[in-house]
Amino acid sequence: MPDKMKNFDEKIPEVVLNSGHKMPAVGFGSAGYPMPPTEQLASIIVDAMEIGYRHFDTAACYGTEEALGKAVAKAIEIGVIKSRDELFITSKLWCTEADHDLVLPALKQTLGKLGLEYLDLFLIHWPVRVKHGAHKFNFAKDEILPFDVHGTWKAMEECSKLGLTKSIGLSNFTCEKISKLLENATIPPAVNQVELNVGWQQRKLVPFCKEKGIQICAWSPLGAYGNFWGTNAVMENPILQEIAAPKGKTMAQVALRWIHQQGGIPIVKSFNKERMKQNIQLFDWELTQEEMDRILQIPQQRVCKGEAYVHPTGPYKSEEELWDGDI
Ligand SMILES: NC(=O)c1ccc[n+]([C@@H]2O[C@H](COP(=O)([O-])OP(=O)(O)OC[C@H]3O[C@@H](n4cnc5c(N)ncnc54)[C@H](OP(=O)(O)O)[C@@H]3O)[C@@H](O)[C@H]2O)c1
């Protein structure tokens, strides 16, 4: 065994998706701000692989696909992993490409940036379509176009049938939007990746996805602590603090373990080696029922409201419409 492979002693469990493929029960988030340069991020991701992460989350809009691709190549070169098949790699279709005919070219571009032949999971990033060619974030309100859920999903299914992605799924979809998609789907979504943490527990969506066999993945599992889009409602929560200290766990570990016990898969971002290690030490201890009940008392608030996709003359006229009332 190469030396580097001895470094990871954390065995991360896996869940089996409805596609039959296995997904490690914690993922590494690659979106941060400010972002380190590509080479530096690639080296951080190699560190994460040495520590034991095998599941990596990126997206066309993050600008991190290239760094992840370089990290995969480096990790194979130095013997941290033997082959790309040991990894689970997710990327996402951005809103400007959410049109039937643009999906396959977008996936091919993503694979080109990653330097890979296939993804493990390709997600529709938002149930939103923005005019092709518009700026990826600073688009005008009249560039937000109606989202054709069936047409876009059909193209996702074609990507899967071509073998370019092992599983396909969704991100930021509500129960209503998933139900509509399921009316015509021939391949059900394997995953819905959404904001989920102790401060936004998704009490409607989590049981719905469970019933439909769709795996929930949790973005901002720590409330994006310290980020401009984040909240301190998780990492400065007094209930979490009271639970963590006597257990000899950190608040982050309690927050992540809570997601695991909900059946969710946290996608957690840390570019700091110590915190990376901490964030996967989740699987040889548990929260008691009493502790889970206390976490239920935490006040609930969605942090990411998706304001950018809402406009009085657009397809979503209010945040209520975007989230189908679940805000
Ligand atoms: N699908 C979507 O629409 C969507 C939206 C947002 C995010 N995501 C994905 O989800 C990933 C995670 O979400 P996120 O980045 O918003 O938030 P997050 O993982 O909840 O929080 C990240 C922040 O917490 C800090 N942190 C990490 N571990 C810590 C620990 N043990 N103790 C204290 N602080 C800690 C990090 O700082 P350090 O790096 O300094 O440790 C970073 O500032 C993203 O990177 C991205 O891949 C997806």
Beta-ladder partners of 33: none
Does the pLDDT of residue 222 top 60, yes or no? yes
Does the pLDDT of residue 6 top 80, yes or no? no
pLDDT of amino acid 11: 81
Q: How confident is the model at residue 296 (pLDDT cuts 50, 70, 90)?
A: very high
Q: What is the pLDDT of residues 131-162, one digit of tens each?
A: 999 999 999 999 999 999 999 999 999 999 99
- Dist. CA 163 → ligand 1 center (Å): 30
Does the pLDDT of residue 1 top 90, yes or no? no
- Dist. CA 319 → ligand 1 center (Å): 24
In the chain, what percentage of residues exceed pLDDT 70? 97
User: Tokens 């990596």 label which residue?
Assistant: 56
132 annotated ligand-binding residue: no
First to last CA, the chain: 50
Q: State yes or no: is 118 an active-site residue.
A: no
- Dist. CA 146 → ligand 1 center (Å): 30
Determine phi and psi for 15, rounding to 5 degrees: -115, 150
Does the pLDDT of residue 95 top 50, yes or no? yes
Distance CA 147, CA 117 (A): 28
Q: What is the pLDDT of residues 231-287, one digit of tens each?
A: 999 999 999 999 999 999 999 999 999 999 999 999 999 999 999 999 999 999 999
pLDDT of amino acid 327: 86
Burial (CB < 10 A; 0-12, 13-18, 19+), residue 146, is exposed
Distance CA 241, CA 257 (A): 14
> Is residue 57 in contact with ligand 1, taking CB distance under 6 Å?
yes
pLDDT of amino acid 10: 56
Mean pLDDT for the chain overall = 95
> Is residue 95 in contact with ligand 1, taking CB distance under 6 Å?
no
In the chain, what percentage of residues exceed pLDDT 90? 94
Does the pLDDT of residue 8 top 90, yes or no? no
DSSP secondary structure letter of residue 37: P
